[in-house]
Amino acid sequence: MSAPGAALLTRPPASGGGRGLAMQLLLAVVSGGYAVGAALGWGSEELAEIMGDFGLSAAALLAAVSCYAYARTIDSRERPAWLLFAFSSLMGACGNGVWGWYEVVLGEAVPKPSLADFAFLCFAPPAIVGLLVLAKRPVTRAGWVCLGLDSWLIGGSLLTLSWSLALAHAARTAQSGAPGSVPRAALSLAYPLLDIALVSMVLVLHFRRSEANRSAVNTAIAALALTVLSDALFTSPLLSAEYQSGQLLDAGWFAGSLLLAYAPWGARRAHPGPGTPGLPRPDRPVSRPITGSLPALTPYLAAAVCTLGILYNVVDGRKVDRVVVFTGCTVVLALVIRQGIMLIDNIALTQELAQKENHFRSLVQGSSDVIMIAAPTGTLRYVSPAAAGVYGREAEELVGSELATLIHPHDLGRVVHEVRRFLAAPPAEEPTTRIECRFKSGSGEWLNVESTVNRHQGGLILNSRDVTERVRLQAQLQHSAEHDPLTDLPNRALFTRRVRQALTGRRAGDHSTAVLFIDLDGFKAVNDTIGHQAGDELLTEAARRLQDSVRAGDTAARLGGDEFAALILGDGARERSAREHQVQEIADRLRTTLSQPYRIAGSEVRVAASIGVAFADPGITPSDLMRNADLAMYRAKAGGKDRVELYAPQMQAEVVRKAELAGRLRTALHDGEFALLHQPVVSLATGEVTAVAAQARWRSAQGILFTPAEFLRVAEYSEGAAAASDGRSALPAGTPTRAAELGHWLLGEAVAQAAERHRIGHDVPVAVRMSAQRLLDRAAPLGSVEALLTRHGLPSGALVIELTVSDPRVPFDELERRLAALRRLGVLISLDGFGSGYAAISALRRLPVDVLKVDRGLVEGVVESARLHKITAGLLRIANDLGMQSVADGVDLPEQVMALRAMGCTHGQGVAFSGPLDEYRLRRALVRGTFPVPGGAVQPALAGGSPGGSMAIRRGSHNETPVPPA
């Protein structure tokens, strides 16, 4: 057998305790010492009588106490047997005690019969009944009959032999009629007859003993057998006449009593079983053939003994005794009856065995699983026919081969370890085990096989099945769980695990490892313009380019949407600056590669890539490293997109600062720290206040006054903070943002205060800035503007919505319907930021607009820049040609007032007239009604209406103004 095969089924050596061995040595020393003393005569006749009588009585009393104490500790069907053994030993102790009373104390010969004889006669019956209790009980009537026949076969054969040798002489003495001969003869016959019955039960129990507490029962059987042997020698004609107390024969009774006292305790401790009571030891060897055949040979041995008794009388020339003839005939008759019963029983068992064999053969041969039996040497002794269909190899081909040679070399070590662990475990605790390994098929490929393993006569039974498809499916599911389904790149979970391995494995000290976060700029426009199918094709191509651009040991992954990542493992050999330069070059190359045109659906599509880079600083965690790369990527997007940005610690500090400010902003909304100011909108021709623009200010608890630009940036950060940390949208759908809450508060306060001013006679419209996205936001309360107008009773023309359009994804059709509904309620629409942004002309062409608000950026340079002067003049001319009023935002200098008025601008808003005012100062300004106009009040050259008209008055004829095509 090969070395792997030997290792596969080798059982680890079992270890045994030494306490039982010490008790056995002590028992042997005490018994041997008694035997030596008896052989030497104990030194004096008096001591010999004491040891021969009271010594035996003490040993028997010790056995009685030991068996009684053991019986009290157990709770099973064995308890009556050990109580009977205790009583039997007690009778022996009493008999020896009476014998010693006559010989030692009284110094007289023991009379016959005496109380000692009656005590000795009571020794055998309890022992016989105790042995019957310990015997394995038959389950059928035939079994009970066979048990009785076996007992008589043994007892009858021993009676025949004993009668021929000694008992016939005692019987003839009783018939002689001498005085006192009959009781003595009956007593002399009672001893051997009871001993014969006891020996018969000992032999029957030896062949029919139960499995419960086998070691203690065997020791008790040996003790009783030794006692019976000593009784037989005592009753023989050779020793009965010359026996004296303290002779060597007493050593047999002494050793038998000590062995019976040792049986329930020492034998049990000497051989502890790992399993439960009643189960065989797992390492118990298989019975030898000769030992297993002894129960079958018992009847024939008994008949042979009986025949020897008869032949002894014939050869010696004696007349065959009638007792011998009668006993021999009954023994022969019992043998015939027993053999007939056994023959019938064997026929029935043979038929039942054949049926069960056919049944199990059908199960094994018809099973789709392969059943194999491996010998203790590791050689396959049986393989079921299913091997041809599962392994592609005939069963006959596999029989005789070594199991270890059929297992994949990479799996053999694990299988050997599991098998050895299984064989070392107690069967009661682990009856089976399961092993999965690769098995060599007939075609030479390796199949994944799952086997259920059981013990079988020192070897193994393997019930195996092919699970190759299941293993492949599991591998496919595992791959799907760790890879993006569209691009087949590692997903976020696998990428995070790879980053963790890079930071905690053998590269833990390598701080040149870098993580790149990549976002495709303009990908959303691809989905919106040419469809999601084209977007998927673009992502697939981008993933292929990314995978081809990284090294074999690096990892490219798709995190979700249009976000990708790359793990660049460090080499540990470069300085930090050199490594940063190398990774910067890799990132620039990736940016260039990903920004190349894509051929999608027959057309050329372009997107850009913003990349953030972060290095593995000492002690950094995987989540922090990925967060740093994400922050750097968003800094690259905020810096103009299509660029590479390295992470710097101040990025995180800025995020923390904005997060703290956003938290304070959230509290400020609920604590009422916002105040509403109004900036007058003045006619550039007359200086009259024609409207007021509502503006919010935040005065924090620290006394800091934040302008709209400052806290609106914080509000926008609070909406996108989560996106900067994990690349996902900040809030789920339907969740109100800080900017939305601010806008709702601003609109509500502005309408409420405007309604209050109208009630006291200040009929000037209020202008509130609102983005197109918020106006169309489905998460906002439907009809919130209409509800405010109705609740506060604001008249028609008293509210101006300054619309900002900054997102190219705004649906103009839906926005146009929404604005038309508001205008039907008397709400004026002002196009805010006119002159900047992509949608100015498109919005002007498609949307119902009443007022154009010129962007602050054009107003600031209208005096210094001739180019801006011409642009601003052209925009104002368009407004006048369309019959719209115009408002210049950010008019801070007198020169700007005169220039704008000369260009035809009708209204202005800025510090040149007034800054934002609280409600008290605003009402004072409205009472005054006008502001001084630099250069005096003149009629504008290109005015589209009366120079002093308010926005509310100009609204009337706009519905009929024709809009030329763009």
Other CB atoms within 10 A of residue 134 CB: 24
Find the angle CA(559)-CA(565)-CA(570) to the nearest 5 degrees. Answer: 145
- pTM over 0.85? The answer is no
Rounded CA separation 694/229 (Å): 124
Quick one: pLDDT band at residue 909, thresholds 50, 70, 90? very high
405 DSSP 8-state letter: G
Question: What's the mean pLDDT in 686-698?
Answer: 91
Quick one: pLDDT band at residue 203, thresholds 50, 70, 90? low
Report how far apart, in Å, the C-alpha atoms of 637 and of each of 515, 521, 522, 739 are. 17, 8, 11, 21
Do residues 439 and 457 make contact, with C-beta atoms less than 8 angstroms apart? Answer: no
Residue % of the chain over a pLDDT of 90: 20
pLDDT of residue 732: 35
Rounded CA separation 913/680 (Å): 8
pLDDT of residue 841: 74
pLDDT of residue 964: 33
Looking at residue 255, its amino acid is A
Q: 608-615 and 644-646 as β-strands: parallel, antiparallel, unpaired?
A: parallel
Quick one: pLDDT band at residue 289, thresholds 50, 70, 90? very low
Question: What's the mean pLDDT in 712-738?
Answer: 45
The listed range with the strongest mean pLDDT (443-447, 803-807, 883-887) is 883-887
Is 908 or 135 the better-scoring residue by pLDDT? 908
Query: Cβ-count burial of 349 within 10 angstroms (0-12 exposed, 13-18 middle, 19+ buried)?
Result: exposed
Residue 365: pLDDT over 80: no
885 DSSP 8-state letter: E
Rounded CA separation 641/643 (Å): 5
Rounded CA separation 127/132 (Å): 9
Quick one: pLDDT band at residue 772, thresholds 50, 70, 90? confident
Coil/strand/helix, residue 149 = helix
Find the angle CA(212)-CA(214)-CA(217) to the nearest 5 degrees. Answer: 100
φ, ψ for residue 686, nearest 5 deg: -115, -15
The strand ranges marked E within 570-688 are 598-600, 603-605, 608-615, 644-646, 674-683
pLDDT of residue 735: 36
Other CB atoms within 10 A of residue 383 CB: 25
Query: Cβ-count burial of 489 within 10 angstroms (0-12 exposed, 13-18 middle, 19+ buried)?
Result: buried
pLDDT of residue 564: 95
φ, ψ for residue 910, nearest 5 deg: 170, -175
pLDDT of residue 51: 87
Question: What's the mean pLDDT in 880-885?
Answer: 90
What is the overall mean pLDDT for the chain?
Answer: 77
**For 87-139, what is each residue's pLDDT tens digit?**
888 988 898 888 888 888 888 887 877 787 777 778 777 777 777 677 666 66
Residue 392: pLDDT over 50: yes
Q: Which of 150, 154, 231, 160 is nearest to 190 (CA)?
A: 231
Q: The sheet that has 380-383: what strands, in order across it? A: 380-383, 370-374, 459-466, 446-456, 432-440
**For 95-107, what is each residue's pLDDT tens digit?**
888 888 888 888 8
Is 752 or 272 the better-scoring residue by pLDDT? 752
Rounded CA separation 868/874 (Å): 10
Is 91 or 269 the better-scoring residue by pLDDT? 91
Question: What's the mean pLDDT in 877-893?
Answer: 91
Report how far apart, in Å, the C-alpha atoms of 457 and of each of 356, 673, 699 are. 20, 87, 89
Rounded CA separation 927/859 (Å): 29
**For 494-547, what is each residue's pLDDT tens digit?**
999 999 988 886 555 567 789 999 999 988 888 888 888 989 999 999 999 999
pLDDT of residue 804: 85
Quick one: pLDDT band at residue 272, thresholds 50, 70, 90? very low
pLDDT of residue 202: 56
φ, ψ for residue 45, nearest 5 deg: -70, -35
Pinpoint the alpha helices (H) of 209-321.
214-235, 237-240, 249-262, 266-270, 289-315
Is 489 or 253 the better-scoring residue by pLDDT? 489
Quick one: pLDDT band at residue 594, thresholds 50, 70, 90? very high
Q: Which two tokens stand for residue 741?
A: 């809450």
**For 728-766, what is each residue's pLDDT tens digit?**
333 333 334 566 777 888 899 999 999 999 999 999 999
Residue % of the chain over a pLDDT of 70: 70
Q: Among 57-66, 155-164, 288-297, 564-573, whose mean pLDDT is lowest? A: 288-297
pLDDT of residue 154: 60
Residue 873: pLDDT over 80: yes
Max CA pair span of the chain: 176
Q: Among 101-110, 836-845, 911-920, 955-964, whose mean pLDDT is lowest? A: 955-964
Residue in the block written with tokens 């000992």: 202
